[in-house]
Amino acid sequence: MKVTLAAACGFCYGVRRAVELAEQAEKGTHTLGPIIHNPQVVGRLAEQGVSPVDSLDEVEKGAVVLIRSHGVGPDIYEKADKQELKVIDATCPHVKKAQQDAKNIIEKGEKLIIVGEKAHPEVISISQWGANRAIIIDREEEAQQIPFCDSMGVVVQTTFSQEQFKRIAAILQQKTNHLDVHMTICTATQQRQQAAIELAGQVDAMIVIGGKNSANTGRLAQVCREQDCPTYHIETAAELDTDWFSGMNHIGITAGASTPDWIIQEVVKIMENLQAEGTEVMSEELLDKYDYEENPKKGDVVKGTVISVNDDAAYVSIGTKAEAILPKKEMAVPAPEKASDFVKVGDELTVEIAN
Ligand code: SF4
C-alpha cells in the first residue's frame, strides 16, 4: 500500500508552541479552555497535571494559568493579576498582532470591523482588545448593511478564507472614505487545505485525522470530498477499518492543525502495512506490537496501548478494530483511587480479554 502524507498537515506553528508550553508547564497548571480541539492531547496533558478550566473563578490564588493560542481579552490579564496568578501566554503571535491592530484602530478613532466568526474565541479576544466596539461580520450581506463612515479599520480572523475576505473587502471599500485593511489572515490553514486538495486528486482515498469537534479538520475532510475522493475522518488509529481500503493501492493522509504528530504517525504506520488489493495483512512488526486479531475472544491475552484514561478506567487499543476498557478495579489490588494514577496514555500493556 502506497501512503502519501499531505505536504502540509498537522500542528501549525501557533498550536505546536501552545502545546509545547503546556507540556513544559508545572503540575497543577490550568489552561483557560481546552488547549486545542483534540481530546487525546487534552487527555494526555490532564494526566501530566495540566487541566482545563472554563473561568479564572475556578482557579486558586497564586496558581499557574496558560492562555491558549486563540488569546483572550485584556480583562483576563487584569483579573489574573488581581488573583496573583502566574500567566503563561501561549497566544499565537499572529493572533497577538490582530489584537494589537484592533486596539490601535480604536485608539485612532476609526470604525473597527472584524471579519470572522462571531462566536469564535479568537474573534471574541480581538473584539475585546478593540474595546468591544467592533462590528463583526463574516458574510457579504452583513458588509452591505454597514453604514458609511469617514475612516474604517479592518482586522481579519487568522483562519478566514482569503477569497471570501476579498469579496467582503470590495464591499467595505464602498462604505468609507478611508479603508485601512490589516491583513491578519495566517497562511497555515490555507496551506493545509491546498495540500489536501492536491493530494485528494491523486489517491484512491483520503484519511483525515483530527478531533471531530475541530472546525479546521472538518473543513479538510470537506475539501477532500469536494474532489470526489472517498474520505474518512477519524480521531485516532483505533477507528481505522481496513475494509474501507479494499482493492485500493494509494492512500492519502492529512491532519488538522490540532492533530499531534504521534497520532498521525500511528495511522501512517498501520496504513503502510496494509497490502494492496485489500487483503488485511499487517507487518510482522505490527502483529507483534498489537498481537492483532480482528475479534479477540474471551480469555485471549493481547498487547495494547492506552489511548485515553479517566478517573474510572483506561481505554486500550488492542488492534486496528478493537478497543478494550480496563476498569480501575482490574488494574491492581487494592484498586487505585483513580485509573489515571496507575496508567497514562501511550503505556503499553498486556491484558486478558474478560468478555
Ligand atoms: S492557524 Fe495560524 S494564527 Fe492560528 S494558531 Fe496556527 S499559526 Fe497561529
pLDDT digit string (tens) for 77-130? 999 999 999 999 999 999 999 999 999 999 999 999 999 999 999 999 999 999
- Longest CA pairwise span in the chain (Å): 77
Task: Compute CA distances 322 → 93, 139, 231, 271, 286, whole Å.
Answer: 41, 44, 21, 16, 14
Question: What is the Å distance from ligand 1's center to 326 Cα?
Answer: 37
Q: Do 51 and 109 sit in the same domain of this protein?
A: no
Question: What is the Å distance from ligand 1's center to 306 Cα?
Answer: 30
Q: Do 171 and 249 sit in the same domain of this protein?
A: no
Q: Which of 9, 11, 15, 35 to mutate to test the pocket of ligand 1 (most atoms within 8 A of CB)?
A: 15
Q: Do 278 and 224 sit in the same domain of this protein?
A: yes
Task: Count the Cβ atoms, other than its own, within 10 Å of residue 210.
Answer: 30
Question: What is the Å distance from ligand 1's center to 215 Cα?
Answer: 13
What CATH code is carried by the domain that includes residue 236? 3.40.1010.20
- Give 293-346 pLDDT, tens digit per residue: 445 676 777 777 776 666 667 767 675 445 676 877 777 756 677 777 777 766
Nearest-5° Cα angle at 215, 213 to 221: 100
Q: Do 100 and 142 sit in the same domain of this protein?
A: yes
Question: What is the Å distance from ligand 1's center to 298 Cα?
Answer: 47
Lowest mean pLDDT among 113-122, 186-195, 198-207, 341-350: 341-350
At residue 321, the pLDDT reads 42
Q: Do 99 and 70 sit in the same domain of this protein?
A: no
Instruction: Spell out the residues 6+ positions from residue 101 whose beta carbon is closer than 8 angstroms to its own.
Output: 153, 155, 182, 184
Rounded Cα gap, residues 159 and 216, in angstroms = 9
> Residues with beta carbon inside 6 Å of ligand 1?
12-15, 69, 92, 94-95, 158-159, 186, 188-189, 257
Q: Which atom of ligand 1 is nearest to the CA of 18?
A: 5
Q: Which of 67, 155, 189 to mutate to test the pocket of ligand 1 (most atoms within 8 A of CB)?
A: 189
Q: Do 318 and 282 sit in the same domain of this protein?
A: no
End position of a domain, from candidates 66, 92, 118:
92
Q: Do 172 and 107 sit in the same domain of this protein?
A: yes
At residue 333, the pLDDT reads 59
At residue 284, the pLDDT reads 40
- Give 244-279 pLDDT, tens digit per residue: 999 999 999 999 998 999 999 999 999 988 754 443
Stretch 23-34: mean pLDDT = 96
Q: Do 143 and 86 sit in the same domain of this protein?
A: no
Query: Cα 298 to chain center, whole Å?
Result: 36
Q: Which domain holds residue 310?
A: 291-352
Q: Do 251 and 320 sit in the same domain of this protein?
A: no
Query: In total, how many domains does the chain have?
Result: 4
Stretch 227-241: mean pLDDT = 95
At residue 320, the pLDDT reads 44
End position of a domain, from candidates 51, 67, 92:
92
Task: Compute CA distances 221 → 6, 116, 154, 208, 226, whole Å.
Answer: 13, 21, 30, 6, 9
Task: Count the Cβ atoms, other than its own, within 10 Å of residue 252.
Answer: 27
For ligand 1, atom 8, name the residue with the nearest CA.
14
Query: Cα 201 to chain center, whole Å?
Result: 25
Q: Do 102 and 43 sit in the same domain of this protein?
A: no
Half-sphere exposure of 254 (CA within 13 A, CB side): 33
Active site amino acids: 122
Q: Which atom of ligand 1 is nearest to the CA of 187?
A: 2
For ligand 1, atom 5, name the residue with the nearest CA.
14
What CATH code is carried by the domain that includes residue 341? 2.40.50.140
Question: What is the Å distance from ligand 1's center to 257 Cα?
Answer: 8
Find out whether 255 and 10 touch, Cβ atoms under 8 Å: yes
At residue 346, the pLDDT reads 65
Q: Do 299 and 236 sit in the same domain of this protein?
A: no
What CATH code is carried by the domain that includes residue 20? 3.40.50.11270
Q: Do 159 and 113 sit in the same domain of this protein?
A: yes
What is the pLDDT of the chain when averaged over all its residues?
A: 87
Instruction: Spell out the residues 6+ positions from residue 106 whose beta carbon is closer than 8 angstroms to its own.
Output: 112, 130, 131, 133
End position of a domain, from candidates 287, 314, 333:
287
